[in-house]
Chains A and B, each alone.
Chain A
Amino acid sequence: MIPGTFDYHRPDSVEAAVALLAEHGDEARAIAGGHSLIPMMKLRMAEVQHLVDLQGITDLKGIKVDGGTVTIGAMATQHELIASEALAQAAPIIREAALQIADPQVRYVGTIGGNVANGDPGNDMPGLMQCLDATYVLVGPEGKRDVQARDFYEAAYFTARSDDELLVSIRFTAPKGGYAYEKQKRKIGDYATAAAAVLIAKDGGTCSSASIAMTNLSDTPVWCEAAAEALVGTSLDKAAVDAAVAAMTGAIDPQEDNRGPVDFKKHVAGVVLRRAIERAASRA
């Protein structure tokens, strides 16, 4: 399995990378870890004439926790997300999710930027970023702009990023309270049959705020405000959790594939969401 020929570029700055993307238009693709793109190129399902390798751009690296604000460079790898103690303090849900992505070899090279920008509904980080209400920073020929993760995904592989823009970093406010990332998969390394990202804050015995996002149950991640609202103001009793699961089930739109029929996926979505709510509540 050998991909078609391409020209290889290794720019050393964001500006140089954006200039290459602008010059070559839809013939160019940025490559981070490459573990989504290279398999597609080997299958010749992705035709790339100009490959713009981001590995030489120092500005895209690093994880910064500054007060309550977390900024993660697009080229931070899953391995680095897991290893960062500062990030584990500020947003432990990221480590919990990253440990469930792929396998060790893939996590050494797979990046958060590639994971969120590719627009693959199977990727775990987009739903998690919606749960955290993260902001994506994009740089294009016209300059820099912010797009909320909750506004970024349009359809499978279609996002608010245009061909000549580069996702450079991700920023969010460190969440308070309990958290859980629960993922059901057929085997280690697989994409989710269903996954749930849940944040819950409590005031005394009452849920004071919640955020819920689901992965691989529609052609985009599903941030479900109604499911979170079903929890707020309750003691997270069975009736509240049932209502949240019902709201979530109404918001997802899974398709039948080799991970199972639609009814099964809806069932698994309910199971993972219940587990995630329970774990997040126990940590809140």
Chain B
Amino acid sequence: MGKMHIKVTVNGKQHELLAEPRELLIHVLREELGITGPHIGCETSHCGACTVDMDGKSVKSCTVFAAQANGANITTIEGLGNPDGLHVLQQMFKEHHGLQCGFCTPGMITRAYRFLQENPDPTEEEVRFGMAGNLCRCTGYQNIVKAILAAAAEMNAAKEAAQ
């Protein structure tokens, strides 16, 4: 089989491209679409650096074929915020030193985004369990957990203020 037509929506923008079915989603994002927020860490579905949000689920994009993602709606770190308008999770990671080298951070924040959608008011233990698919070799996780709990508090306060 040669290349196939693939349609994906990434960060609200529709893309049509030709890809071999065996191409991995992370390669399509990074190499075909130039979306380099999601990183390639282990490439063996362990580290979570390639995590993206696909149809409302956190997935490791190194373990999804381009063909499987045909028709999917994807959000990457680029879709959550940007330097002129940080997402509250990005802001809290910055304030609480939730990163050192930053390699795992896009995956961490993309996963934390979905986690807080499902559990807006988590305990520390729930954050740790919910983030178990993302590895960080710098921080010891302490400040990542703090940042996510702080983001949850911010998001809940903003929600209450809006009501």
Contact status B67-A106, CB under 8 Å: no
A81 to chain B, nearest CB (A): 14
State whether A79 and B132 are in contact (beta carbons under 8 Å apart), knowing that A34-B68, A105-B51, A189-B46 are contacts in the complex: no
Question: CB within 8 Å of A: which of B21-80?
Answer: 21-24, 43-46, 48, 51, 57-60, 63-65, 67-68, 70
Contact status B51-A5, CB under 8 Å: no
Tell me the dominant secondary structure on chain B's binding face: loop
Asked if B1 is an interface residue, CB under 8 A from chain A, the answer is: yes
Asked if A205 is an interface residue, CB under 8 A from chain B, the answer is: no
A245 to chain B, nearest CB (A): 30
Who on chain A is nearest to B72 by CB? Answer: A55
Contact status A105-B111, CB under 8 Å: yes
B123 to chain A, nearest CB (A): 15
Asked if B103 is an interface residue, CB under 8 A from chain A, the answer is: no
Contact of A108 among B4, B23, B57, B65 (CB under 8 A): B57
State whether A53 and B67 are in contact (beta carbons under 8 Å apart), knowing that A8-B4, A189-B133 are contacts in the complex: yes
Please indicate which of the listed interface residues A4, A8, A10, A105 has the most CB atoms of chain B within 10 Å of its own CB. Answer: A105
Contact of B22 among A5, A35, A53, A108 (CB under 8 A): A5
Map CB proximity to B onto A246-267 as digits: 1 under 8 Å, 0 otherwise. 0000000000000000000000
Question: CB within 8 Å of A: which of B109-142?
Answer: 111, 115, 129-133
Which B residues have a C-beta under 8 Å from some C-beta of A? 1, 4, 20-24, 43-46, 48, 51, 57-60, 63-65, 67-68, 70, 111, 115, 129-133
Across the A-B interface, give the 3 residue pairs with the lowest CB-CB distance, nearest first.
A103-B133, A8-B21, A108-B57
Which A residues have a C-beta under 8 Å from some C-beta of B? 1-8, 10, 31, 34-35, 38-39, 41-42, 51, 53, 55, 79, 102-106, 108-109, 188-189
